[in-house]
């Protein structure tokens, strides 16, 4: 895994994919913040151009085994720099006219932070950024100080997009041919170049073209950034050490199945002698997290330049066979305990290097079932993968708080998995996933160079000889980085296409060499590869509008097998978000002109308009009468569709024939302000799609089947439930009751099992064309544990399956839901109070009540927490929301949020709904 550069006299080592940086990092600078307020008309990304800002100088920790993150860079286009590379990369160089960049920053992210361009997330302002500014290399330079220059010093980094020449103190130490690919890992031994005091490293970053290079692209997700994300998007660290380097330390876990009564731990590490003399080192350390720490120690003698792998196993360290191990589970199934590894290599009693790693103990299997579909089992227990596609920020800005907020939203929605197609996030993302118990499915992306050799006429050029080692090195680096995270349950080495045998063997060999234990999946589509076999997944879509009933058919994208990416496409956000995203003229076009290209949908011609979506909205609900009415109808449509998608897959998960095994909603979020593929929008606001998913995935759930009119109970809890009562009542839109039935004594097993309570008659006398179905589930004590309201029609949506395309199935006749427009306006009252827990978290409790006048229910009552100016307070996690109330009914909801997000104002609640006039009440 080690390459040696033939640079005479420099004694430099370039390591591709040497594994994760295992030394405990020195705390670095605050990461670049994702602008939470971007999008308001006229709001720029900064306060104005800020060239000539002082460059932060990083003080390197001199402790052997330390890892210090470079605090940031000064950057500038090579078009504007006439000085030589030797001058640019030398200490004392005056970076006049350069821009500051964070420790992880693309070129455009830095320029946005400096206020060079207007907010690219609003309207079409991103088009004002000239792509030609990024068709030449850009310089990144950073100064750091070192004490004790005689100690060994290394530069360790990945995340260079797309490639870079690297210089230290005036000397080129690697070329762009050596440092290529967004995921390759590089270690450069720069000991002979480092001086006591000031030092400089400079990267000459090459432009990125994802069709030609193994980097990152945005496919049809969003309007791509004009710089194509060129820059350095992961930490560059300076490592210090003694004569012996400790690398690639990790723990291979083997949980005894099915008993889980014991677990074998095998500790491995590479020790490398970087000195010119024979050295004897002692590698010692502990595995913590068990009832008693496990001590490890072994002496190793190394010739000059020699590397050996040290292995500690239960055979020679019996304490590494743990009894009653602490097992890591997904959040919905159990706890998330983690263990820790700490190793030190000493020479003559002095520390030379250290390594630290956390890990979890769990068993993941994903065999193909009798239908050839992939069925995941965690610690021997099968589970339905209920997930969504993850997107980072468009400019790859890392903000831990923003990421953590979205992960908490995923849990709030009852999701258990996030799929990362490319754009594989930094280490902290997976640390958070481990901690919160969220499963992840990382993998390579489609429709770019990654699949250029196998994807026929799709985007992405065929591979050249240099691409193969870059791909293998990328796989080795990501395998070494991700293998210890219990949240990572597979790697998808293909997306739309499986790799050919040569590419696949490179990937698989790299994974095996890294001691990868999770399943390897050849592709996210229904295909196979020579080594890893059948994928067991399908990629049938849809990606654009289909009616809710579509999800129940066991064909195309319906609820059978494992659908790796699918949804009904567009997701129009709340009116609050739309006004922060689009100009008034664009908002007018949004609801008036279905055939208009929507900049905030997709650069793809297939997905550039809202034609299918708007036609369905008008056909089912009636033509919108204005922007407010359009958004109001969109929220109902998105609620019912997302709910149906997750409900169908949940109900069919235990079927004896063609069960559903997994569904990835496409997508969880967008990297920018979007009109498509999102359960939560850019600003973390929540609309119909969010609460439809939350309703479908609640722990104990009563639901309606669009295919057979069944009322089923789905139990997502671990334990069985009994003594349940299900009631279904059908109403005309004016509240006239037409049907009512109650079934008692229901039982349902745990772990995602379902039970059918009753079937609604095909025909109900007197029922209007548009009608409401209220489903209630109560426990043995009479407490309501699930409430679910549907708006349905006696006229069904009709699908033309024979004319299905890869992205949707046409609807030839729409359900008639226009009767909802006749519902009388019904006020909803609210009483609220707020408490603060002393740690910065506030909880607002609100009771919403239908006052009981008239017979008309209040459909989909939405409660928004707002500040003094009426803007939503975000993020917020609701116990429930968008509830429907009949006369005399009430519901008590709680909202949890950061007190600071109120920005000093008193909390208020904005109450609205399908047929509820908007009002705002205090929540103090």
Classified as helix, coil or strand, 449 is: helix
Q: Could you give the 3-state DSSP secondary structure of residue 132?
A: helix
CA–CA separation, 162 and 466 (whole Å): 14
Q: In which residue are the tokens 């699908």 written?
A: 799
Q: What is the dihedral of CA 554, 556, 559, 562, to 10 degrees?
A: 120
Catalytic, 762? Answer: no
Instruction: Give me the residues paired with residue 143 across strands.
Output: 57, 200
Both tokens of 746, joined, read: 């229901």
**Is 565 tagged catalytic?**
yes
Phi, psi (degrees; rounded to nearest 5) at 257: -115, 145
Give the three-state DSSP class for 10: coil
Query: Which candidate in 565, 640, 816, 862 is catalytic?
Result: 565
Asked whether the beta carbons of 657 and 604 are under 8 A apart, the reply is: no
* Residue 218, both tokens: 């945005």
Query: What is the spatial distance between Cα 850 and Cα 845, in angstroms, rounded to a whole number?
Result: 17
What is the C-alpha to C-alpha distance for residues 835 and 899, in angstroms, rounded to an integer? Answer: 10
917/905 Cα distance (integer angstroms):
24
* 340 backbone dihedrals φ, ψ, rounded to 5°: -135, 145
Query: What is the sign of the dihedral through the CA atoms of 107, 113, 117 and 122?
Result: positive
Length of the chain: 924
Of 425, 496, 576, 797, catalytic: 496
Closest CA to 307 of 352, 241, 237, 248: 248
Do the Cβ atoms of 77 and 99 come closer than 8 Å?
Answer: no
Rounded distance, CA 174 to CA 347, Å?
A: 30
Residue with tokens 């060999």: 509
Beta strand ranges found along 333-407 (DSSP E): 339-347, 350-359, 364-365, 377-378, 381-382, 385-389
Q: Report whether 791 contacts 817 (CB < 8 A).
A: yes
Reference 810, options 636, 611, 622; nearest CA is 611
Instruction: Give the C-alpha separation, 38 to 50, whole Å.
Output: 18
Contact predicate 817/620, CB 8 Å? yes
- Nearest CA to 806 out of 529, 496, 534, 528 is that of 496
Coil, strand, or helix at residue 406? helix
Work out the number of other CB atoms within 10 angstroms of the CB of residue 553: 18
With tokens 């193909």, the residue in question is 368
Contact (CB, 8 A) for 356 and 341: yes
Vertex 10: Cα angle to 8 and 13 (nearest 5): 105
Q: Report which secondary-structure segment, H or E, holds 649.
A: helix 627-651
User: Which residues are CB-contacts of 34 (< 8 A; sequence separation ≥ 6)?
Assistant: 393, 397, 399, 402
Rg, C-alpha atoms of the chain? 29
Residue 624 makes CB contacts below 8 A (sequence gap 6+) with 591, 617, 618, 630, 633
Are 263 and 255 in contact by the 8 Å Cβ rule? The answer is: yes
The dihedral sign for the CA sequence 364, 217, 399, 581: negative
For 788, the token pair is 């679910």
The CA distance from 906 to 175, in Å, is: 57
Are 614 and 545 contacting, i.e. CB atoms less than 8 angstroms apart? no
Residues with active-site annotation = 496, 565
């Amino acid at each position: 895994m080690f390459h040696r550069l033939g640079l005479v006299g420099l004694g430099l080592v370039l390591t591709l994919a040497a594994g994760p940086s295992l030394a405990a990092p020195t705390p670095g600078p605050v990461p670049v913040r994702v602008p939470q307020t971007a999008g308001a008309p006229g709001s720029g990304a900064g306060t104005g151009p800020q060239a000539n800002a002082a460059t932060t100088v990083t003080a390197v920790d001199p402790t052997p085994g330390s890892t210090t993150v470079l605090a940031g860079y000064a950057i500038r286009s090579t078009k504007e720099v006439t000085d030589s590379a030797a001058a640019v990369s030398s200490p004392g160089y005056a970076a006049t006219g350069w821009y500051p960049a964070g420790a992880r920053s693309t070129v455009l992210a830095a320029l946005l932070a400096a206020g060079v361009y207007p907010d690219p997330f609003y309207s079409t302002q991103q088009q004002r950024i000239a792509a030609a500014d990024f068709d030449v290399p850009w310089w990144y330079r950073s100064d750091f100080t070192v004490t004790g220059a005689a100690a060994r010093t290394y530069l360790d980094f990945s995340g260079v997009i797309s490639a870079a020449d690297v210089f230290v103190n005036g000397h080129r130490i690697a070329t762009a041919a050596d440092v290529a690919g967004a995921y390759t890992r590089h270690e450069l031994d720069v000991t002979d170049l480092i001086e006591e005091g000031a030092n400089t490293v400079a990267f000459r970053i090459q432009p990125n073209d994802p069709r030609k290079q193994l980097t990152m692209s945005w496919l049809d997700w969003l309007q791509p950034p004009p710089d194509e994300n060129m820059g350095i998007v992961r930490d560059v660290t300076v490592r210090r050490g003694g004569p012996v380097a400790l690398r690639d330390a990790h723990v291979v876990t083997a949980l005894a199945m099915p008993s889980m009564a014991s677990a074998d731990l095998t500790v491995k590490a590479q020790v490398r002698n970087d000195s010119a003399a024979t050295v004897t080192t002692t590698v010692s350390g502990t595995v913590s997290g068990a009832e008693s720490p496990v001590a490890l120690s072994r002496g190793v003698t190394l010739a000059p330049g020699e590397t050996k792998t040290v292995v500690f196993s239960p055979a020679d360290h019996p304490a590494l066979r743990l009894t009653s191990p602490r097992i890591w589970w997904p959040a919905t199934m159990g706890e998330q305990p983690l263990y820790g590894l700490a190793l030190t290599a000493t020479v003559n009693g002095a520390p030379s290097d250290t390594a630290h790693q956390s890990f979890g103990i769990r068993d993941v299997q994903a065999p193909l079932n009798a239908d050839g579909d992939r069925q995941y089992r965690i610690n021997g227990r099968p589970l339905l993968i209920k997930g969504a596609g993850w997107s980072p920020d468009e400019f790859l800005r890392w903000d831990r708080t923003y990421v953590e907020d979205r992960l908490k939203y995923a849990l709030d929605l009852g999701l258990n998995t996030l799929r990362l197609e490319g754009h594989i996030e930094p280490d902290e993302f997976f640390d958070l996933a481990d901690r919160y118990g969220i499963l992840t499915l990382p993998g390579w992306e489609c429709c770019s160079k990654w699949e250029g050799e196998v994807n026929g006429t799709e985007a992405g050029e065929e591979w050249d000889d240099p691409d193969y080692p870059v791909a293998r090195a990328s796989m080795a680096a990501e395998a070494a980085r991700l293998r210890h995270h219990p949240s990572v349950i597979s790697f998808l080495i293909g997306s739309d296409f499986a790799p050919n045998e040569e590419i696949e063997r490179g990937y698989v060999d790299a994974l095996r060499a890294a001691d990868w234990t999770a399943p390897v999946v050849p592709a996210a589509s229904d295909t196979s590869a020579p080594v890893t076999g059948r994928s067991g997944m399908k990629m049938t879509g849809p990606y654009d509008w289909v009616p809710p009933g579509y999800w129940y058919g066991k064909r195309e994208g319906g609820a059978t097998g494992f659908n790796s990416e699918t949804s009904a496409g567009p997701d129009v956000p709340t009116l609050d978000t739309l006004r922060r995203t689009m100009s008034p003229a664009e908002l007018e076009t949004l609801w008036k002109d279905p055939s208009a290209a929507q900049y905030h949908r997709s650069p793809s011609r297939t997905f550039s308009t809202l034609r299918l979506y708007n036609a369905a909205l008008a056909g089912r609900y009636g033509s919108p009468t204005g922007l407010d009415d359009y958004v109001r109808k969109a929220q109902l449509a998105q609620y019912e569709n997302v709910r149906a998608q997750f409900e169908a897959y949940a109900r069919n998960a235990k079927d004896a024939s063609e069960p559903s095994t997994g569904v990835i909603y496409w997508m969880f979020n967008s990297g920018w302000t979007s009109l498509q593929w999102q359960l939560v929008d850019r600003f973390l606001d929540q609309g119909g799609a969010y609460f439809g998913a939350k309703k479908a995935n609640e722990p104990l759930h009563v639901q309606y089947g669009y295919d057979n009119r069944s009322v089923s109970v789905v139990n997502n809890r671990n334990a069985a439930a009994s003594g349940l009562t299900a009631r279904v009542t059908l109403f005309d839109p004016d509240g006239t009751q037409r049907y009512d039935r109650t079934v008692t004594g229901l039982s349902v097993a745990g772990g995602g099992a379902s039970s059918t309570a009753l079937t609604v008659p095909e025909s109900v006398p007197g029922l209007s064309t548009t009608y409401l179905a209220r489903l209630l589930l109560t426990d043995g004590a009479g407490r309501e544990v699930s409430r679910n309201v549907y708006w349905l029609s006696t006229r069904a949506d009709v699908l033309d399956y024979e004319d299905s395309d890869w992205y949707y199935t046409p609807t030839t006749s729409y359900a008639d839901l226009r009767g909802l427009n006749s519902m009388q306006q019904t006020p909803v009252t609210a009483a609220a109070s707020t408490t603060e827990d002393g740690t910065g978290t506030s909880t607002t409790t609100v009771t919403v009540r239908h006052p009981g006048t008239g017979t008309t229910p209040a459909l989909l009552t939405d409660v928004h927490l707002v500040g003094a100016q009426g803007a939503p307070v975000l993020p917020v996690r609701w116990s429930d929301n968008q509830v429907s109330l009949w006369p005399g009914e009430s519901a008590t909801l709680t909202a949890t949020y950061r007190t600071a997000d109120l920005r000093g104002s008193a909390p208020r609640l904005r109450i609205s709904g399908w047929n509820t006039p908007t009002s705002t009440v205090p929540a103090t």
